[in-house]
Structure 1
Amino acid sequence: MQASLRSSLRCAQWLAACAAALLLAGCGMLIPQTVDLRTAWPESVPRQAELARVPFFPQDDYQCGPAALAMAMVHAGAPVRPETLVEEVWVPSRHGSLQVEMLAAPRRHGLVSYRLAPHYADLLREVAAGNPVIVLQDVGMFLPEWHYAVVNGYDYATGTVYLRSGLQMRQAMPFSYFERTWLAGRYWAMVVLPPGRIAATATEERWLDALLGLARGRDADASVRGYRAALARWPDSLPAAVGLANHLHAQNALDEAAAVLRMALQRHPDSVILMNNLAQTLSDQGRNGEALALIHRADAAQSPFGSEVRATRELIEERLRAAGS
C-alpha cells in the first residue's frame, strides 16, 4: 500500500513537473519578446523612462484612436484635440479607426508618422528617446476588442509598462501582459514626430518611406524640413538628396536646389538622375549652356532614365533656340 502510494506520488510529481514545463514553454511562446528582454536587455537603453509631459485625453467609447493620436500629436507640437481628429480617422462602420487612417492623419498636420518595426526593443528605444508610442492592442477577454493606447514609460526593475489608456492617465501593465495584448495586432506601433526630428529607431529606407507619406499631406515646408533632416542624418543618401532638391525646386528655391544636387553629384558622380535634375534646374535658372553640357553627359550614359534625359535635353535645346532667335 505504501509502495503503491509512493509510486502514485512520484507519478503525480512527474505529471506536475511536465505540466509546469509545458506552461513555461507556452508562456515563452506567448510572450517571446518579454522573455528576450529578461535575458538580454537592449544595449544602451536605460532601465527606466517615463514621459510625464505627454498630455492625456480621456478616450470616449470606441474613439480611442483620435484620443491616442491627439496625445502624440500635441506632444509633437500640433495644437489638436481628439474631437477635431474624429472625422479624419473615425470609421463608423468599424466603430473604430484603421491603421492607415492613424498613419495618414498626422501628415495632414505637417507631422511625420513612422511605423515601428515589430520589436519590443524598438518601442523601448523610442520611449527612452522621448517619443511616446501609439500601440494597437487586443484588450478583449474572450472576443477581440481592439484598442489604441500611448506607451509613455516603462520600468525594467518592476517589469512594468506605463500607458495613457482609456480613462487612465497612468495605467501600469506588466511587460508580459502588455505583450500578449500587443502581439494580437502583430506588434503594430507608430510614433508621431515633427519633420526635423528623426525617430530613434529609424532606418534610412523606412524613414524616407515615411517622408513620402508626409509629402502626400501637401505641406511643402514640412517636407523640406523632413528631407533636410534626413540628408543630415544620411549624407550619402541619394533619395534624400533628390527628394530635398525636388521640394526646393517646387518652392522655386532654385539656387538651393542646385547646390543640393551639386553636392550629391560629388558623392555620386555617375548618377544619371542627379545629372538630369541638375541640368533641369540649371536650365530653369537660365543657365542653358551649363545645362546642355551636363545633359549630354547624362545622355551618354546607359540608364533606365533615358526617356527623362531625352525630354530634358529637348527642353534645353528648345530654350537655347528661343534665346538665339
Structure 2
Amino acid sequence: MTAGRLLSVFLLGAALSACGTFPDIPPAPDSASVELDDVPFFPQSRYQCGPAALATTLNYSGVDIDDRALEQAVFLPGREGSLQAELLAASRRHGRIPYRIAGNPEALTSELAAGNPVLVMQNLGIDALPQWHYAVVVGYHSGERQWLLRSGTERRHTASHTRFLISWQKAAYWAAVTLPPGRLPASATPATVTQALADAERVMGAPTVLPGWEAAVTRWPGQAELLFGAANAQRSAGHKHAASQRFEQLLISDPEHYAGRNNYADLLLALGCPASARTVLAPAQQARGLAPALEAVIAATAGELDQYPAQPDREDCPAAPS
C-alpha cells in the first residue's frame, strides 16, 4: 500500500463560538425519567472541573483513571481550566472515542436512555463575566422538569430545565459522549460519526477504530463515507478481502466515489489483480472537475497500473465493478 496514492476520511471540525445572546430555550422534553445512578463521581478542586468531568465519563466507560491523572493532560493553568479540544484528545489517548452530540434536550435524553452520561460545557456566569464549567448529565426527571448532574462538589446536582438550558446555551450547547470503539451514540448521525471516527483513527490507529466503522456501517448500510472509512480501516488492519467487500459495496452505493475507486484499485494491485484495478479506476480517470489533489492521486495510481501488462487476472481475483 502506497501512502501517497491513498485517500482517507479527513474532515475539519468547526471551532466553538460563544453566544452573545440567547433566544427562547427549547421546551423540556416529554421523555420518561431516567437516572444513571452508577456513574462515578470525582469532586473537583478549584478550576479543575474538566479533569473531574472527563474522569467521570471515562471511568463509566471502563477506563480506570481518576481526575488527578488527567490534570496534567487537560488542565491549562494559564487559562485556569480546560479547553474542549484537550478533553477530546485525552479521551482518544485513553482508548475512547469522543462524539459530539446535538445541542438539544432530546439528544441528551436519548443518550441517557441508552446508558450514556453526557459531558457538557456550561457558562454559569454572564456574557461580560463568563464562568465556564464542565459537568456530566446523568439523569432527567420529567415530572419535575429537572436535570441531574455530577457537577463541582455535588454528586447529585439538580437544576431546573430553564436554568440548565440557559447555562448550556451560553456555552453554545457543547456536549459529548466518550465511548469504547464499537459503541455509537444513540443520537448520532452519519456525518458526526464519520467525523469522530476519522479524528480518532489518526490518534488510535485504524485497527483500534475499526469496530466503530463496522458498527456505523451496520446502523447505516449504504452510507458512502462510512463504507469508505470501513474499507480503508479493514485494509489498514490487514484484512484485504474484507476491505475488498466494503469497497465493492461502496461503489454499488456510489459509483462516482472516485476516492473510493482509487483506493480500491490500489488494493486490487496489492492483491495481484491489475486488470480488475484498471476496470475500477477507469471512471475516475475519465471524470472531470475533480479537485487537483484527487486528480494527482488518481494519476499516480494509473501510472503504477501502466507498469503491468494488459492481460487477464487470475480466476480468484474479485469481479470488480466498473
Q: Tell me if TM exceeds 0.5.
A: yes
Amino acid at match of 2:153: L
User: 2:249 aligned to 240, 251, 263, which one?
Assistant: 263
Provide the residue aligned with 2:36 in structure 1.
Answer: 51
Relative to the length of structure 2, the TM-score reads 0.82
- The structure with more radius of gyration: 1
Worse-matched range after superposition: 72-81 or 290-299: 290-299
Amino acid at match of 2:297: E
When the two structures are aligned, how many residues end up with a matched partner? Answer: 286
What residue ranges of structure 2 are gaps of 5+ in the alignment? 1-20, 311-322
Provide the residue aligned with 1:273 in structure 2.
Answer: 259
Provide the residue aligned with 1:179 in structure 2.
Answer: 165
What residue ranges of structure 1 are gaps of 5+ in the alignment? 1-28
Amino acid at match of 1:199: P
Any idea what the Cα deviations from partners look like across 1:72-123, whole Å, max 9, x if unmatched? 1111222222122112211110111011112221122222212222212222
Worse-matched range after superposition: 199-208 or 91-100: 199-208
Provide the residue aligned with 2:151 in structure 1.
Answer: 165
Provide the residue aligned with 1:144 in structure 2.
Answer: 130
User: 2:274 aligned to 283, 288, 294, which one?
Assistant: 288
**SS of the residue aligned with 1:173?**
strand
- The higher relative CO (CA closer than 8 Å, separation ≥ 6) is in 2
1:279 offset after TM fit, Å? 1.2
1:65 offset after TM fit, Å? 0.4
Relative to the length of structure 1, the TM-score reads 0.81
Any idea what the Cα deviations from partners look like across 1:241-268, whole Å, max 9, x if unmatched? 1111112222232111111101222222
Amino acid at match of 2:134: Y
8 Å CA contact retained: 1:110, 1:219:
no
Any idea what the Cα deviations from partners look like across 1:146-192, whole Å, max 9, x if unmatched? 21111100101012111111221111222122223222212221111
User: 2:203 aligned to 217, 222, 230, which one?
Assistant: 217
8 Å CA contact retained: 1:108, 1:219:
no
1:240 offset after TM fit, Å? 0.9
Worse-matched range after superposition: 241-250 or 138-147: 138-147
Taking the aligned partners of 1:278 and 1:236, their CA distance within structure 2 comes to 17
8 Å CA contact retained: 2:197, 2:212:
yes
Amino acid at match of 1:253: H
Provide the residue aligned with 1:32 in structure 2.
Answer: 24
Matched, 1:133 2:118: yes
8 Å CA contact retained: 2:121, 2:175:
yes
Q: What do you get for the CA RMSD once the two structures are aligned?
A: 2.2
Q: 1:303 to 1:261 in 2, by over 3 A?
A: farther
8 Å CA contact retained: 1:33, 1:119:
no
Q: 1:88 to 1:219 in 2, by over 3 A?
A: farther
Worse-matched range after superposition: 133-142 or 274-283: 133-142
Provide the residue aligned with 1:65 in structure 2.
Answer: 50
Taking the aligned partners of 2:209 and 2:253, their CA distance within structure 1 comes to 23
